[in-house]
Structure 1
Amino acid sequence: MKQFSAKRSIQILGHILQQYGINKMVISPGSRNAPLAIHFSDLDSFECFSVVDERSAAFTAMGMAKSLKKPVAISCTSGSAAANYYPAVTEAFYQNVPLLILTADRPRDFVDIFDGQTIRQKNLFQQHSYGDFELLEDETENAEVENFKTIKTAIELCIEKQGPVHINIPLSEPLYGLVYEMPVFPEIEVIKQEKKYEIPSQLISEFNQSKRILILAGTHDKNPELESILSQLVKNHSVVVLTEANSNLYHEKFFNHIDRYVFNFNDEDIRTFAPDLLITIGQNVVSKKVKEFLRKAKPSKHWHIDQHWFPNTYYALTEKINAKPEVFFGQLLPFSKLEPQAYYNLWDVLRDKRDAKHDAYCSTIRFSDFKIFEILEQKIPQNYHVHVSNSSAIRYTELFPFSKNHHIFCNRGTSGIDGSTSTAMGYAMMSENPVILVTGELSFLYDVNGLWNQYIPPYTRIIVVNNGEGNIFRIIPGPSSTNAVDEFIATKHHKTCEHIAKHYGFSYFKVDEEETLLRTLDNFFKPEEKPKILEINTSEIQNADVLKEYFNALK
């Protein structure tokens, strides 16, 4: 027999979520949120997932939402459990991933009287959410009417903003009251309002008058329509399009490896390659070098195209264009002159020179982190969606054409190493395509509870590049000149992933040289009853020196 929570606020919540088609919830254990666990786990239209660690649970839900492209709910008990959601909430906020955060709480009168598991939960995520709401307890006058309005408003905001929204739910005891039939609530007319955009004639004129147009794509989901339109813009060498691996846009006339081209620009180069019109799409850009270049270039016009964010990243923003990029460029294209420009040829000459040096260096490179990413770009099957952790892993990925054949994902909202594993596993749980996570060992070990998850599909793959430290701090200037680098910054260690793989039920493979890696990869993607982890040990290799040699070779 089905059991439902007797709490009226929870019954209303379940009804409204159903009306809006939100049917996935990640639940972490606890007593205060027991009414939610009881209720949603027995609703036929809901699919619930149990993830113990709240920090991991929130990232897992974020990965699920990225895969589904719709909101996913998370539920936890009161106190520090709710605070553990915060890293994923900030990441979802800056990536515009819709998370519906449902935190159970003690009654209001219990706050700040030293009652167990009670903190100031109201407005907990206010700085990094699109809305913070709190429900009334069932016994409060007009609670049913007010809670209905509050929940409806919160869900609509989560869908509209495509970002995190918080509902705090004070619940008094008893928590385990049950009913066996659900009351009838009014139906909700869900109206989807599509934002209409019409390009102003002024922007068309400015575009056609500009001779040095640079389109820069940051983090972006795969979008064949946008890719096709941008391909038309570059067809006659009219504009320059710079992309990164996680832009998920690829064309032979796009400039697909930003750092390869701009890493050593001096003041004269900046003047030579500076655009007069900069158009940016997508979110965070990985390349610090391109940010430095464009901030110094000071373009006279900068348009940013997005439905949510209008960041003044380059201190030159002149137009906030509230539209999907494919809609904007689709309307611009028929009116564009698309005449060949010397500006494109300028970049093209630079590309030919740098690409030739890249190929020459790759032909001689020894086994290292750099070489591993060159191999992986060629060896990962095309049907895999590729998640990459932060720090050095995503920077190596940017040097190779991963996005030509793969969907690339990376948590570049806040760019932290926490949550990469959990996000990838959440994505894998919902994805029709198999998923591989390529990660450094510090990121992997930091988020090891991402594997404490019984729902990971057996075709999921994880590759851990273990260089024995946070090698990014050997690459960037500064840390290596200090006495603190080994212990406190790069954090050298001798940990491996073997026992972790066994503990969580993954097949495990370990390699430490190129020939074995190539042979292992041939079998690594073959089907098996368990997901697999491949650990590549490069801890005895001076990986930072290899990367520095690479950039020296490009000069």
Structure 2
Amino acid sequence: MNDTLTAWVAHMMNQLVEQGVHDIVISPGSRSTPLAMAAYLHPQVRHHIVVDERSAAFFALGLTRSSETVRPVALICTSGTAATNYFSAVAEAYIAQLPLVILTTDRPHELRNVGAPQAIDQVRLYGEHVKTSLDLPVPDAKAHHYMGQGVGRLVRLSMQAPLGPVHMNVPFREPLLPDIEQLKNLLTAVPEAYGVAYARPVPNDLTRFKHIVAADRIVFVVGPGTPAEWLESIHTTATTYHIPVFADPLSGMRRFEGVCANYDTWLASEHSGEWLPDAIIRFGAAPVSKRLNQWLDDTTQLVIDQPGSFRDPSSLATVVYGDARDYLTVIDTPYDVRYANRFMTFERVSESAKHGLRGESALARHLLATSIERLFVSNSMPIRDVDTTLAAGQTINVLANRGANGIDGILSSALGACHDTEKAALLVGDLAFYHDSNALQLLKTHPGSFSVVIVNNNGGGIFSFLPQAAIEPQMFEDLYGTPLDLNVRGFAETYGLTYRLVERPEDVRDAIETGVHVIEFPSDRAANVLAHREWTASICDRLTLENGT
């Protein structure tokens, strides 16, 4: 048997485990045989077999967030076009700053670019969408330590802020079978504890921060991807010094009482310009709410980020780098509590009116009131409905793919992110569900209770809110509405899953609590637009009265 190959893949797998990789997603194939076997047999690896590479990549992306702290997850695929199916998930991981470790197996160097079957150019395949890429030599005793160092370096880099994906291209020559008994004996590792190390602020950045927080009225905006380690300090500082906190639904910040959760509604008021702060401090990525982003464009902004990351789509902010907790210690003087209290009044007005929500928004509200611990939310309308309905003080963990904001791979991502959660759900539209419907195969073996709640408005509902909705109706339907007339029940039956149609928003509660796999809620796009606009207008009318007093 091939002793060099066996020792090579054993050492590679041990290095992955030592650096904190415990979950590996394998899409089976021939060229990946030695590496897949090592992952399959390693006693400290939890392996997941996902046949479709695109689904596998998004499932792995979800797994990076399956626990309270982000952790690296590895992918293994065979040579050829298999690796190209990872690309969408890799792009999402890069923008969302999630640590995917991509292991693409390959033909040996002498079989590249010579017409050999199942061979494409895999070197630096993902371009600028990974933090770094390494093309290994074929297994060679003389390169054994080089390979081990390379694995360790790449995994550690994936976990250095800003986090992100790394790519290792791993070529193998035939024969591809390792010595299985020898491999079993070599597979042992001592995992080391690696956390995320955040940079310390440099003096100039601290000076910039001090200057901006010296303003009379400031606001904290906590966006998606804000490190969980920062949230308590942000809340404590805000509470102590009377600073309003605008908490994005994906920030984890809405679990705290007293934060602003309804701003997307009350910022629609004609008086919103009167409530602008002198400066805002943003943590994490830009928030989901378009109204909030537009409102912030009219004031001074400071973003706390990490070296190598620049998340300011407005091009208006001062960007500083380092651990937010170091910056927050600078604030030592209370602000005028009347400014914060005004926003709390708006919050009470909006929250008290939520019983009047209808249709898709009402569905989201009832879903958030169930016993699920985690909710994964699709892009387009579902995330906006959750933004509207998730209240301050609700402890449910809400996740979404808000890096590239795509609708591909949503079900796979959700199943990965909720793999270690006892009871969870996905809220998704019919188009995003269709894009990743083959991931229902993974739901059959999901270890916990998981429900897919499909808002079926027969097309792309968000376009009905956009200027495109004013064009000629047939052109709109063909280019934007894109009705598919899906038979959702048929999808469930194909995969042997339970199904329920719910026609009233409140009925989703019983379907969730009884563990129905696929829940369909029919909706009308035009009626949904009207319901959204009428409810927002009613809140703005009430706020006009409050603003006057």
Provide TM-score, normalisation by structure 1: 0.86
390-399 vs 13-22, which moves further: 13-22
How far apart in 2 are the matches of 1:371 and 1:186? 51
Taking the aligned partners of 1:147 and 1:199, their CA distance within structure 2 comes to 35
Closer/same/farther in 2, CA of residues 356 and 19 from structure 1, 3 Å limit: closer
Q: CA deviation at 1:153?
A: 1.6
**1:503 and 2:490 correspond:** no
The answer for the alignment partner of 1:242 in structure 2 is: 246
Q: What count of residue pairs does the alignment treat as equivalent?
A: 529
Relative to structure 1, is the Cα distance of residues 92 and 470 closer, same or farther in structure 2, using a 3 angstrom cutoff?
A: same
Distance 1:290 1:208, change over 3 A: closer
The 5 Å alignment of 1:122-161 reads 122-139=123-140, 142-161=142-161
Would the aligned equivalents of 1:424 and 1:435 in 2 still touch at CA under 8 Å? no
Whether 2:478 is the aligned partner of 1:473: answer: no
2:510 is matched with 522
- Alignment equivalent of 1:493, drawn from 473, 484, 487: 484
**Residue-by-residue CA offset, 1:220-262 (whole Å, 9 max, x unaligned):** 4684x74443344443673221112212213443221231122
Distance in 1 separating the partners of 2:235 and 2:266: 20
Do the aligned partners of 1:242 and 1:258 also contact (CA within 8 Å) in 2?
A: yes
Mapping of residues 270-289 of structure 1, within 5 Å: 270=273, 272-289=274-291
Alpha-carbon deviations, 1:429-465, whole Å to 9, x = none?
Answer: 2x24421111111111211122222531241122111
C-alpha deviation, 1:71, in angstroms: 0.8
Q: State how far apart, in whole Å, the 2-side matches of 1:181 and 1:416 are.
A: 44
Residue pair 1:5, 1:38 contacting (<8 A) in 2 also: no
Measure, in 2, the Cα distance between the counterparts of 1:289 and 1:4. Answer: 62
Question: Given the alignment of the two structures, is residue 83 of structure 1 paired with residue 120 of structure 2, yes or no?
Answer: no
Aligned pair 1:392/2:381, yes or no?
yes
Identity of aligned residues (%): 24
Deviations 1:509-537 (A, max 9, x none): 112235xx53x62353136xxx6221111
CA distance in 1: counterparts of 2:244 and 2:170, whole angstroms: 51
Q: Distance in 1 between matches of 2:180 and 2:144?
A: 17
Q: Distance in 2 between matches of 1:205 and 1:322?
A: 14
Native 8 Å contact 1:435 1:459 kept in 2: yes
Deviations 1:90-134 (A, max 9, x none): 111122211110001112232333322221110011211111111
Quick one: structure 1 residues 553 and 477, their matched pair in 2 at CA, closer, same or farther if it must change by over 3 Å? farther
CA contact (8 A) 1:237 1:344 kept: no
Amino acid at match of 2:312: N
Q: 2:451 aligns to what? A: 461
Judged with a 3 Å threshold, the aligned counterparts in structure 2 of structure 1 residues 153 and 344 are, in CA distance, closer, same or farther, namely: same
Instruction: Give the conservation status (yes or no) of the 8 Å contact 2:425–2:452.
Output: yes
Measured in 1, the distance between the counterparts of 2:158 and 2:3 equals 25
Find the counterpart in structure 2 of residue 218 from structure 1: 223
Q: Tell me if 1:37 matches 2:41.
A: no
2:412 aligned partner: 422
Q: Does 1:441 align with 2:430?
A: yes
Corresponding letter in the other structure for 1:411: N
Indicate the residue corresponding to 1:16 in structure 2.
15
Relative distance call for 1:326 and 1:433 in structure 2 (3 A) is: farther
- Farther off after superposition, 57-66 or 488-497: 488-497
Query: Which secondary structure state, in structure 2, belongs to the residue aligned with residue 469 of structure 1?
Result: coil
> Are the aligned partners of 1:78 and 1:105 in contact in 2 as well (CA < 8 Å)?
yes
The answer to whether 1:532 aligns with 2:517 is yes
C-alpha distance in structure 1 between counterparts of 2:194 and 2:292, whole Å: 38
Indicate whether 1:545 and 2:530 are aligned: yes
Determine if the alignment matches structure 1 residue 304 to structure 2 residue 304. yes
Shift of the alpha carbon at 1:179? 4.5
Q: Say whether residues 1:554 and 2:539 are aligned partners.
A: yes
Map of 2:333 onto structure 1: 337
**1:284, 1:54 → 2: CA distance?**
30
**Displacement of 1:83 after TM fit?**
0.6
Q: Which amino acid aligns with 1:489?
A: Y
* SS of equivalent to 1:93: helix
Aligned CA distance change for structure 1 residues 500 and 315 (closer, same or farther; 3 Å): same
Partners in 2 of 1:432 and 1:70 — Cα distance?
Answer: 16
Q: Any idea what the Cα deviations from partners look like across 1:285-320, whole Å, max 9, x if unmatched?
A: 21122222222x141x52324476332233233241
Using the alignment, how far apart are the partners of 2:308 and 2:445 within structure 1? 32
The amino acid across from 2:418 in the alignment is A
Q: Which residue number corresponds to residue 361 of structure 2?
A: 370
Secondary structure of the 1:484 match is helix
Q: Residues of 1 paired with 2:470 and 2:527: CA distance?
A: 13
2-structure distance, mates of 1:423, 1:316: 33
- 3-state SS in 2 of match to 1:413: coil
Using a 3 Å threshold, how does the CA distance of structure 1 residues 114 and 464 change in structure 2: closer, same or farther?
Answer: same
User: Is this contact kept in 2: 1:7–1:138, CA < 8 A?
Assistant: no
1:178 offset after TM fit, Å? 2.7
SS of 1:84's equivalent in the other structure is helix
TM-superposed CA distance for 1:358, in Å, is 6.8
Kept after mapping to 2: 8 A contact 1:237/1:345: no
- State how far apart, in whole Å, the 2-side matches of 1:4 and 1:262 are: 66
User: Structure 2 length as normaliser, TM-score?
Assistant: 0.87
The 3-state SS of whatever aligns with 2:418 is helix
1:439 maps to a residue whose letter is: V
**Separation (CA, whole Å) in 2 of partners of 1:12 and 1:236:** 51
Change (3 A) 1:196 1:103: closer
In the TM superposition, residue 37 of structure 1 has moved relative to its aligned partner by 1.7
CA distances 1:324-343 after superposition (whole Å, capped 9, x unpaired): x34543x34xx511132554
DSSP-derived class of the 1:242 partner: strand
Amino acid corresponding to residue 502 of structure 2 in structure 1: V
Amino acid at match of 2:164: G
Give the secondary-structure state (helix, strand or coil) at the position aligned to 2:388: coil
How far apart are residue 409 of structure 1 and its match?
A: 0.5
Equivalent residue number for residue 259 of structure 1: 264
* 8 A contact 1:74–1:99 mirrored in 2: yes
Distance in 2 between the 1:110 and 1:86 partners? 23
* 39-48 vs 205-214, which moves further: 205-214
Offset from partner CA, 1:396-443 (integer Å, 9 cap, x none): 1111125623111111011111111101111222x2442111111111
Q: Which moved more, 1:337-346 or 1:87-96?
A: 337-346
16-25 vs 440-449, which moves further: 16-25
1:75 deviates by 0.5
Summarize the Cα distance change of 1:4–1:282 in structure 2 as closer, same or farther, 3 Å threshold: farther
**CA–CA distance in structure 1, aligned partners of residues 4 and 269 of structure 2:** 62
Q: Any conservation in 2 of the 1:61–1:99 contact (CA below 8 Å)?
A: yes
Determine if contact 2:379/2:406 at 8 Å carries over to the other structure: yes
Cα pair distance change 1:480/1:493, threshold 3 Å: farther
- Residue pair 1:284, 1:412 contacting (<8 A) in 2 also: no
Structure 1 unaligned runs (5+)? none
Counterparts of residues 57-96 of structure 1 (less than 5 Å): 57-68=56-67, 69-96=70-97
The 1:5–1:61 alpha-carbon spacing in structure 2 relative to 1, beyond 3 Å, is: farther
1:411 aligns with 2:407: no
CA distance change for structure 1 residues 504 and 189 in 2, over 3 Å: closer, same or farther? closer
